[in-house]
Amino acid sequence: MIQRSKTLKYLLDFVPGKRRLGPYRFLPIFFCIGGVMEWIMINVRIGSETFYDVYRRKESEREYQQKITGGRLVHDEPAAK
């Protein structure tokens, strides 16, 4: 059996709610991490764009590509060498 790290167990015991919630006591922590990630994706600009600016642009490019090909699916081909 895999031996558990005593240090990790010691650190995890600091999170309250062990008897009442068991392993589910970590859900609020991960929920907050997800919220922070989403906030960063919406509000933090890298260069001049946010994550969703890039997503909208790429989606628009895909729709345009489908329009000009008559609705057929087009796969990007590697450039000729």
Residue span of the structural domain in which 28 resides: 20-68
- Residue 73 in any domain: the answer is no
- Residue 29 in any domain: the answer is yes
- Residue 34 in any domain: the answer is yes
**Residue 34 pLDDT > 60:** yes
Report which secondary-structure segment, H or E, holds 4.
none
Q: Cα-Cα-Cα-Cα dihedral of 38, 39, 41, 42, to 10°?
A: 120
- 5: pLDDT confidence band, cut at 50, 70 and 90? confident
Number of domains in the chain: 1
Looking at residue 56, its pLDDT comes to 92
- Residue 76 in any domain: the answer is no
- Residue 62 in any domain: the answer is yes
* Averaged pLDDT for residues 19-27: 88
- 11: pLDDT confidence band, cut at 50, 70 and 90? confident
